[in-house]
Every structure is written in structure tokens, then in C-alpha cells.
Structure 1
Amino acid sequence: MGRAALHYGSILGQVASRSQPSPSPGCVFFFPPIHPAIAVAEILQRLRKNPTMGAVELKKNRNFSSQQLNPNWAELQKKLKTLSSKPRRPSDASDLGPSKSVLGKRKDRDGTEPDDSQPNPLIPTHDDCSLTDVLGMDCEMVGVGEGNKSALGRVTLVNKWGNVVYDEFVRPMDRVVDFRTHISGIRPRDLRKAKDFQVVQKKVAELIKGRIIVGHALHNDLKVLLLSHPKEDIRDTSQYQPFHKEGRRKALRHLAAEFLNVTIQNGEHNPVEDARAAMMLYLKNNKRWEKIVKDQIKLQKKQKKRKPKKKPRQKDASLRVDPASTAS
């Protein structure tokens, strides 16, 4: 209705312009406005002669309006028309079917997704650096002799909260020929002001005496320290049976990834980090671990009691003297 009125208005304007003569130059004329009834009558007469006139006028006006558009807009309209005319390709996601959302369903979420909100368990949450009844220990070795012999290069002790209670670089008694930096992280500059082996050995022996030590493959650490420790006070993560897989021992980095969900030993080893990882593995399993140790100690005591006592050897019967024969 609005468009028809618009075009009829344009026709009315044409009628009005035709009914008024154009003024000649230098002359000013005043023409009274055309009467609406006359204009409507002429419009009806023209529509009777050509019923499609309104549509033709509308088409003309459309063409005129499109010609008046900015050329950039006209080009954009062409591009939109071509894009809309192309058939839409199905996306790869639609080909695979509807995706299964796991949002809001805790049990359906993948546990391997990294969660930045969880704190790193190897970072101590307690600032107490005092000695505790349990100490975590880790040593890094360097090569001496021909390079295939290991010597102590660094030793670290942490308490049960993961805080460092002792951490020293060590100058070996023999000349270092291989620093094994890619594993140990030790460089020549680290040993220039390092303490002598005997000093470090004595201090470590004092710290671990009467305490439980926790670590991974502790027999290697005690070997380079030239120290011994009671077997019942050793908690070795490489020897703990529940950590084994099909009877095989796992590396510390694999245990940390599986049970602590942290990555360690990605390149040079950090003895502080390794000692903390071993301590955390022990603390997460200490109740069961201590029960196993107690059961083993009880079993060993029972086995010692059950050992039969050696019977005294009897003399040969032929060497015995019959008292009756001697009396006669």
C-alpha cells in the first residue's frame, strides 16, 4: 500500500508538472496548485489505459535507486548474491556426526587434560626447614677415573614438607673427567668452591642417623657416599612392590607422572625436585608402606626363631667302653 501511494504520488507530480508551462527566461509566473480531484481523475484514466503502469513505474524507480548507489555497495551486493547462490559444503565436524559434549559431566571428562588450577605437589606449602623423622635424599654423580666410575657431585636432603635441609656440591677425591652435565646438571664452575667429600660425608651421616630416608635407587646414593644405613629405615621407591609393573621397576619420572601427575627429569636432573618427588610418593602410600615393612620385620624375626638348633655330635659306638667289661 505504501509503495503504490509512493508511485501514485510520483505520477501526480508528473501530472502537475505537465499542467504548468515552463517559464521563459527573465519571466516569473505564478501558477495555482492543481486541484486534487483533477489529478486523481487523470491517474485513473491512465491506469485504465495501461493497468501495468504502476509496476513499470516501480521497476523504473528501483533501477534508478540502484544506479544512485555507491559503486562499493553495488559490488558488495554482487558478492553477497554470488556467495548465497553457491551450495553450502558440509563441514568436517558435521560429517563426523554430532560432537559429544562433556561440559558439566565430571565423570565423562578426560583425566589427561591439563588442569592449570591444580597446584604443583612438588612445591612446598610449608616453610618449615627443620629436620623431620623422615628425610628425602637424592645424589648426582660425575665421572672419575676413565669416566665410567661414578663419584659424588651433589647431595640434597629435604624434609617431609619438601623443604631443603641440606644441599651441597661435592669435590670428589679423584679428578673429574666427565661432569655428565646433560643428566647431572653439574658444571665445572659448580665444583670450584665445592666442599670436600669427607666434610659432606660426615654431615650427611649425622643428618640421616636414626631417621628414615626416602629416595629412588638409594643403594646407588649410599654407595657413592660410602655410607650404610639400616635396612628397616630405608624407603626406596624403586623397591616398593606396588609401584612395579609386571615385576619390572619403573623410573622415578614415570612414577611421578603416573601417581603425582607432574613431569620431572625432562633434561638435566634436579636433585631437589627428585627428592621431593620421592617424598611425595612415600607420603601418599606411607600407611600401606609402613604396614608392609612391619610385616616383613615380624616375618624375619619368626624365621630366626624357627631355625633348628645344632645337635651335639655323638661319639662313635665302637669307641665306647662298656662299664661291665671293665668291672670284670
Structure 2
Amino acid sequence: MDSGSAKDSPPSAKPKSKKVAMDKNVNGTKSDGKSFKEKKKNGNILKEKDDIKHKRRKAEEHAEQQPKEAEIWFDDVDPKDIEAAIGPEAAKIARRNLGLETGQSKQSVEQVLVKEKASEGLTRAVAMDCEMVGVGPKGEDSIVARVSIVNQFGKCIYDKYVKPTEEVTDYRTAVSGIRPENINTGEDFKTVQKEVADILNGRILVGHALRNDLKVLFLDHPQKKIRDTQRYKPFRQRVKNARPSLKLLCERLLNVQVQTSEHCSIQDAQAAMRLYTLEKKKWEAAVKNKSNNKNCKT
């Protein structure tokens, strides 16, 4: 009985061994290595196809999210803030519009200073610049020879030569661009003075060293409505100059060249306005805070 049991046990073990072998083949053992390799290879192919589809979908989504340049006019917004909020592409557009990108020299100054397809009428803020000529024995005293005013988008809304009220002893043409024929047939001073006063009334006045312009026009303007780019502290800090010229501010902050030869009062007014709109939001907030603090003290 015992010997019979011993003889019967090997056959009973064979099916078990065979079953294990079959299971291993299904799982891809060496006995069926070829099948396993093909499946693995096919798996990689499928994975690569999925990766390609995923990358393509991501690229399409990224393309859809890119901002269009024509949609935005970046007034009073720092490109760094735009990059943090929207992304590098939007910041790139902002820098291009502000004239801060490499290759800006290819753009005309007007493209940087004037907004295309914008209102040509009066706006809440206007910028003014005057050209002057010299009077007196040495031409050291100044009288107004030309007045130019632009709106918030840089569009010229007023530009007139002024007939001299005194004998001109120095036309300062190299700087002022004024010649005898320009002002000999110019508008009467009183007329220009009244027209300018009417335009400025109730509006924010932007300019560079505005004290000089208002002085030759014998006009004043409420201090709380004056935005002088020469006196704006953040500009002075950025260029490290207590009394920066308009030329310096444009070079450093707008990356454009102005006043390269004879001055143009229209362009100078446009430059001052563009500097203002670049910083408008922060500038106006500072003026408001200053006013609120003054009211609290009183």
C-alpha cells in the first residue's frame, strides 16, 4: 500500500507543474519571451502616440491663450506686473508698445508716443509745451513763440505760432526751431492766451518743467491738477537725477530719442504725456493719497 502510494504521487504532481508553466507563459516568462517583448514594444508605441497627442493638445491650448497685440493699450501698467498677471507674451507686447524692447530703434518715435486710431478730441488730461525765443539786450529773457497741446493719446489738438510782443534778439533756432517767418505772421498773444486758458480749464495739465511754459503765457493752473514729469519723484529716482531733462527721461524710460536736433513742441508734449500715461495709475493714486492726508490734518 505504501509503495503504491509512492508510485502514484509523481503522476499527480505533473498536472500541477504543467499548470504553473502555463501561468508563467501567460505572464511572459523566458519560455515565452518573444510574446512578452512584442507586447512591451506595442505598449511603448501606444504610449508614444499618446504623448504626441498630449503635446499637440497642450500646444494648441497655449496658442489659444496668447494675447493679441491689437487688443491692448498698455497705459500706466508696468510690464513686470503684466508678466506676473498674464504671462511673458503679454509683457512682450507691453514692452514693444512702450518702446522697451530690443530693436526699438526701428520704430519711429511717433509710434511710441502716439496711440494709433484713438480719439483726436479733448480728454480729461492734456499735455502742453511751448517754444520760446529770446528778448532783451542779450536775448536772455524769454517770450512764447509757439504753443502745442496734445490729448491723452498724443494727438495734437492745438498748435499755433505766436506773434512776438517784443523785439526778438535771439531766435534760439538751434534749440527752439523758431525762425522769423514762423512768428512774424503768428497769432496775436492775447488770442492764444485765451484759447489755451479755455482748453486747460478744469483739466489735468501734463508737461515738463511746466512752470516755464505757464510763466511765458502769463497763466496759472491749480497745483493739484499739474503733472510735471520733471518734478515727479519716482522718475527722478529711476534716472538718479534731481532735475532730469525730458530727453533723459525718454531715453531711460521709453527708450526713444527726442530733441536730437531742433526741438518740436508737439513732440515734447507727446513725450511728456506718454511718460504720464506710463505711470498714470500710480501717479494719480499718489495725488489722491496726498490730498486725503491733507484733509485729515485739517
Counterpart of 2:291 (choices 274, 280, 297) is: 297
Asked if the contact 1:243/1:249 (under 8 Å) is kept, the reply is no
1:223 aligns with 2:236: no
Give the drift of 1:156.
0.2
2:159 aligned counterpart, secondary structure: strand
Counterpart of 2:185 (choices 182, 193, 196) is: 193
Counterpart of 1:167 (choices 156, 159, 169) is: 159
Gaps of 5+ in 2: 1-91, 93-99
Cα deviation 1:206-245 (Å, max 9, x = unaligned) = 0000000100000110000100100010000011000114
Pairwise mapping of residues 62-141 of structure 1 onto structure 2 (< 5 A)? 113-115=102-104, 120-141=111-132
Cα deviation 1:256-308 (Å, max 9, x = unaligned) = 111111100001101111111111111010010001111111222233x2xxx
Measured in 2, the distance between the counterparts of 1:113 and 1:137 equals 30
Give the drift of 1:126.
2.4
Whose RCO is larger (CA < 8 A, sep 6+)? 2
1:142 matched residue in structure 2: 133
Give the drift of 1:248.
1.2
1:234 matched residue in structure 2: 226
2:113 aligned counterpart, secondary structure: coil
Asked if the contact 1:140/1:155 (under 8 Å) is kept, the reply is yes
Measured in 1, the distance between the counterparts of 2:183 and 2:155 equals 23
Counterpart of 2:249 (choices 248, 255, 265) is: 255
Counterpart of 1:277 (choices 271, 285, 297) is: 271
- Could you say what the CA RMSD is over the residues aligned between the two structures, in angstroms? 1.8
Counterpart of 1:157 (choices 149, 152, 156) is: 149
Measured in 2, the distance between the counterparts of 1:129 and 1:286 equals 20
Pairwise mapping of residues 18-37 of structure 1 onto structure 2 (< 5 A)? none
- Letter of the 1:200 partner, please give it: V
2:134 aligned counterpart, secondary structure: strand
Measured in 2, the distance between the counterparts of 1:270 and 1:127 equals 22
Cα deviation 1:89-123 (Å, max 9, x = unaligned) = xxxxxxxxxxxxxxxxx9xxxx8843466563124
Counterpart of 2:260 (choices 262, 266, 284) is: 266
Asked if the contact 1:140/1:153 (under 8 Å) is kept, the reply is yes
Cα deviation 1:158-201 (Å, max 9, x = unaligned) = 00111111000001211111110011000001012101111100
* Structure of larger gyration radius: 1
- Letter of the 2:211 partner, please give it: H
Asked if the contact 2:104/2:255 (under 8 Å) is kept, the reply is no
* Shift in alpha-carbon separation, 1:294–1:198, aligned structure 2, 3 A: same
Question: Taking structure 1 as the reference length, what is the TM-score of the superposition?
Answer: 0.57
Measured in 1, the distance between the counterparts of 2:294 and 2:131 equals 34
Asked if the contact 2:126/2:200 (under 8 Å) is kept, the reply is yes
Cα deviation 1:72-91 (Å, max 9, x = unaligned) = xxxxxxxxxxxxxxxxxxxx
Instruction: Name the one with the larger helix percent.
Output: 2
Measured in 1, the distance between the counterparts of 2:151 and 2:128 equals 9
Measured in 1, the distance between the counterparts of 2:236 and 2:129 equals 20
Q: Percent identity?
A: 44
Measured in 1, the distance between the counterparts of 2:233 and 2:182 equals 37
2:296 aligned counterpart, secondary structure: helix
2:205 matched residue in structure 1: 213
Asked if the contact 1:139/1:155 (under 8 Å) is kept, the reply is yes
1:244 aligned counterpart, secondary structure: helix
